[in-house]
Amino acid sequence: MPEHIDRRRFLGLGMTGLAGAMALGLQAPRVAGLAGSSAFASPAVRTLRITDAMVEMVDLQRVYMWTFADALGPRQPGPRLSFTEGDDVELEIENALDQPHAFAVAGTGISSGAIAPGDTAHVSFRAPAPGTYIYLDPLAAPLNRLMGLHGVMVVLPKDGPTPYASPTPAVRRLFEDLGSTAHFPGEPWVPERSRIWHFHTVDPRWNARVEAGDDVRADLVAADYLPRYFLLNGQSGYFAMHDPATAPRGRIGQPHLIRLLNTGMVAHSPHIHGNHVFAVAQNGVVLPDARFIDTWSVGPMETVDWLHPFIRPPDIAGPEDRPLREVVAQELAYRDDDYGIRQSPLAYPMHCHNEPSQTAGGGNYPGGLVTHWELTGDLDGVDFPTA
């Protein structure tokens, strides 16, 4: 019987995964950014198991899915793989299902080839150029990917101020300016301040047919695909909004890198409030210019990296040299009389401008692809009051 993954357990996996990694001496940035993730930062042989699970959606409906599992068990999406450029990597890919499956990293030559049911493939490779990669089962495309056999692989450079080994001059200049110029006061970017936003879609009609053992043709799935659920790091709605591994948090002047990828079947246009961001890489290529944007289209099987500067939001009243903690205590101290909710512009939403993705089940809003980012303190290092 497939294992059941519910939302509460999913959040718990995120916390226990981080705690376990820290207990083992792994660095927090290798696990931060993906709920339930585990980090493969060692050249030792690691195992991924292709299996199945019943995954609970935001409206409590259970959907049959295929998953990549590791020692922590199945999760959706698969566990995050993290390496440094040039690492010698060895993976064992076990196929516990009753159809052939495979493992591959999109845009590279890394592939296991087809793995027969019950067999194990050994995949050895040298970690490629730094960047954001999608790993997946490429067989019967797009069916196996849509059923849940996908995840993210992150490769970091050995050193340098940027996430890339060979940044373009504009992107290098942008990262070098962080913490050293009037426009970007504060600190430089460090890998610890990174997040992953992994977008996916689910049309449970096809999942139910696969569960029933039907011979599902991939071309029919592609031609008649109607997403009912829109996932962000495997979660939706409330659970995506309040997962600390998804929502970037920091003080003014603590820039974050957000790695976005889309393994679903529709394009998304993620949009944030409070700051604009810089698009610095797309589909494995560092961009020639750092584009200052607030919305960016991410199509199926595309990736994009955003630099989120975490500057003081320009729409807050008062002189810029006034600490925001004073503004919070005064102008922003208003609380709604009926609900006791305080006014605060310091937690800003991220939502998709392709509006159907905000829903679940055909109309439950905002039960889809949503999260937020949060400013927690001033440039001088003093946190905002919480009362």
Express each pLDDT in 86-140 by its tens digit: 999 999 999 999 999 999 999 999 999 999 999 999 999 999 999 999 999 999 9
- What does the DSSP 8-state code read for residue 159? S
Centre a 10 Å sphere on the Cβ of residue 315 and count the other Cβ atoms it contains: 8
Per-residue pLDDT reduced to its tens digit, 137-194: 999 999 999 999 999 999 999 999 999 999 999 999 999 999 999 999 999 999 999 9
Rounded Cα distance between 98 and 51, Å, is 9
Mean pLDDT on 242-248:
93
**Torsion angle of C-alpha atoms 179, 180, 182, 184, degrees rounded to 10:** -30
CA distance 112 to 69: 16
Q: Mind listing the pLDDT tens digit for each residue in 190-227?
A: 999 999 999 999 999 999 999 999 999 999 999 999 99
Which amino acid does the sequence have at 77? P
Q: What is the pLDDT of residues 286-299, one digit of tens each?
A: 999 999 999 999 99
Which residues does 159 contact at the CB level (< 8 Å), separation at least 6? none
pLDDT classification of 345: cutoffs 50, 70, 90: low
Give the pLDDT confidence of 300-321 residue by residue, as tens digits.
999 999 999 999 988 777 777 8
In DSSP notation, 274-288 reads SS-EEEEEETTEEEE
Instruction: Give the DSSP letter of residue 355.
Output: G
Q: Apex CA 358: angle with CA 352 and CA 359, to 5°?
A: 160
Q: Tell me which of 7-21, 54-68, 180-194, 330-344 is least confident.
A: 7-21
**How open is the CA angle 142-143-144, to the nearest 5 degrees?**
100
Tens of pLDDT, residue by residue over 60-76, are 999 999 999 999 899 89
Considering the chain, what is the average pLDDT of its residues?
87
Percent of the chain whose pLDDT exceeds 90: 73
Residue 340 has pLDDT above 90, yes or no: no
Q: Residue 262: which of 380, 164, 136, 379 has the closest Cα?
A: 136
Which residues, at least 6 apart from 366, have a Cβ–Cβ distance to it below 8 Å? Answer: 237, 351, 358, 359
Collapsing DSSP to helix, strand or coil, 17 comes out as: helix
pLDDT(280) > 60: yes
* pLDDT for residue 329: 67
Confidence of residue 276 (pLDDT cuts 50, 70, 90): very high
pLDDT bin (cut points 50, 70, 90) of residue 371 is: very high
Domains annotated on the chain, with CATH: 3-162 (2.60.40.420), 169-194+224-375 (2.60.40.420)
